[in-house]
Amino acid sequence: MSAHNEETPKLIGDELTEGVSTVLEAGTDAAGQRLDQWLAGQLGPDMSRSRVQMLIRQGAVKIGGKPVDETKRKMAAGDRVSVDMPEPEPASPQGEAITLDVLHEDNELIVINKPAGLVVHPGAGNWTGTLVNALIHHCGDSLSGIGGVRRPGIVHRLDKETSGVMVVAKTDRAHKSLSEAFADHGLTGDLERAYLALVWGIPTRPTGKVDAPLGRAADRVRRAVVPAGRDDARHAITHFTVLERFGEQQQEFATASMVECRLETGRTHQIRVHMAHIGHPVVGDPDYGQAFRTKANRLPEPLKGEVKAFPRQALHARLLAFRHPTTHLSLRFEAPLPRDMEALVEGFRKL
């Protein structure tokens, strides 16, 4: 491969420069390779194939001066490929001055303690007031163009009413690295996630594993345990440890437990569905704990009223550990129980 300049230098170190043109010449080893595959390999480890494919579809990639829109086009030796890196566009969501509990921030990423009630990403019914809006305002010009758009890189999510630790990428490089770590659920890296859940009942074993595939439920929003052979079935494993038992010696009261859940996979609503599947839904869960709502009637006051008034699932992302995408240092972040969940747990402790 040889590289040439067009008007503006195209490479700085190992990184593409936004807003300028890069020209690459294919060698004999490129013959027969897919354009997107070859180009992703030439542009460095920070350029994902998905982003290369997006650039091709946008007409930013040319061969012999002519735009190419076919990502699978076969390369030929001697092809001169130019890539026009677009300037990052303004993010569609607008920045909003929403207070964030920042646990760590550097040039590549930001770690926050998300409060319950905060939606992560704008969407139907929640176009403003989200974590993304808050991050755009907070990070400002420190956000690089992720996928050609100046926005925070969401690599994992917490449900609106789940609190706790989240990491968000600020650069394409960090986004790619963290996305890969979450995609393989830490099997080849140092990713570690632990949640605290207040659940109904007391599991018969102090530790256990729920290995049950998840798929869409009938309403398309919720998830459910489904047969492994179903088309939408996704492998899902949750490990749990009982940390505290409440009301165990007082059979006239509803019992509950504080459980730590560790994810071996990361599916939508995984902990909530898995705990309900084994008969211990999360207290306050409006989607998977409805059948247990009457259990609150067996509690003494004032706990009975507190449980009925609790507005969300009692689930908190306590721990997140991962390897930094550029320094490669192991980072570990913890967030204590939020006040509302701590107060609820204290009520159960009095049983």
Instruction: Return the active site residues.
Output: 159
Beta pairing class for 237-246 and 256-263: antiparallel
- What is the C-alpha to C-alpha distance for residues 156 and 268, in angstroms, rounded to an integer? 10
- What is the C-alpha to C-alpha distance for residues 107 and 312, in angstroms, rounded to an integer? 34
155 closest CA partner among 133, 135, 130, 174: 174
- What is the C-alpha to C-alpha distance for residues 37 and 148, in angstroms, rounded to an integer? 19
351 exposure class (CB count in 10 Å sphere: 0-12, 13-18, 19+): middle
Amino acid at 43: L
List of residues 6+ apart from 342 with CB closer than 8 A: 336
- What is the C-alpha to C-alpha distance for residues 283 and 292, in angstroms, rounded to an integer? 8
**294-to-144, 201, 291, 298, 304 alpha-carbon distances in Å:** 50, 13, 7, 8, 10
217 exposure class (CB count in 10 Å sphere: 0-12, 13-18, 19+): middle
97 closest CA partner among 67, 137, 68: 137
Tell me the β-bridge partners of 150.
Answer: 145
203 closest CA partner among 168, 146, 241: 241
- What is the C-alpha to C-alpha distance for residues 317 and 244, in angstroms, rounded to an integer? 17
Structure tokens given for 347? 């009520």
- What is the C-alpha to C-alpha distance for residues 351 and 343, in angstroms, rounded to an integer? 14
49-57 helix and 35-42 helix, angle to the nearest 10 degrees: 120
